[in-house]
Amino acid sequence: MSDLHLGPITTEQDWFNSNDLEEMSRVLDERSYDSRRWQLFACACCWRILPMLDERSRRAVAIAERHAEGLADAEEVEEALHLAHSAVLTIWQPGTSASLQSAAMAAHYAIVLPQRSYHYAARATGGGEDAERRVQADLLRDVFANPYRAVHLDPAWRTPTVLAIAADIYQNDTFAELPVLGDALEDAGCDDPIILGHARHTCPHVRGCWLVDGLLARTLEG
């Protein structure tokens, strides 16, 4: 990444160099609102503060993630809402640390308003909020593809090996194996620098990664 971009995002380079999640959110919303991806991004932010979440909040985030994937029924979603709300009421008391309060709020928003969850997840880190925002910006770029350039995944690159690796990564949450997927794509004839660069980038990869989703033909719409 080159110099950090501050201010409005108007170009592809701005997008890749920005840590301003509010501005990144604006750019994404101008194109479309993808509820699935926002919820998966919210969950990824919450999993980063896992030690600060009590069992109720953890369960709520797990259900939120299942809900994003269409796997949680209405009863489970209602359970998540109850658990998240209960955790907030318990923790939001005088004397409780602001970090724990923010963590509970992040989990709550992951189920009720995912697009705001990251605010509280960053605040939960206390003095590390700026650093956490930088990681969150990378997570957002992992979940949402470049809004300034459409990426074409050639069907010829979806070889049995590529699909098997992508499916294993998705099913087993082994997103750290993206560089292996990148090697398999290159072996399959992929020479797209954006695709290979994303697979091999050292930034964190999470459930909802646009490359894995694209290869597995998972929905790009909420």
Residues 45-92: tens digit of each pLDDT? 999 999 999 999 999 999 999 999 999 999 999 999 999 999 999 998
Mean pLDDT of the chain: 92
DSSP string, 161-218: HHHHHHHHHHHHT-GGGHHHHHHHHHHTT---HHHHHHHH-SS---TT-HHHHHHTT-
pTM for the structure as a whole? 0.92
> Residue 26's pLDDT is what?
92
Residues 9-35: tens digit of each pLDDT? 999 999 999 999 999 999 998 887 789
199 near 180, Cβ under 8 Å? no
Cα–Cα distance measured from residue 99 to residue 49, given in angstroms and rounded to the nearest whole number: 10
Cα–Cα distance measured from residue 115 to residue 3, given in angstroms and rounded to the nearest whole number: 26
Proportion of the chain above pLDDT 90, given as a percent: 82
> Residue 3's pLDDT is what?
58
In the chain, where the domains are located: 35-143, 155-215
Q: How far is CA 92 from the centre of its chain?
A: 26
> Residue 221's pLDDT is what?
37
Residues 161-181: tens digit of each pLDDT? 999 999 999 999 999 999 999
> Is 4's pLDDT higher than 80?
no
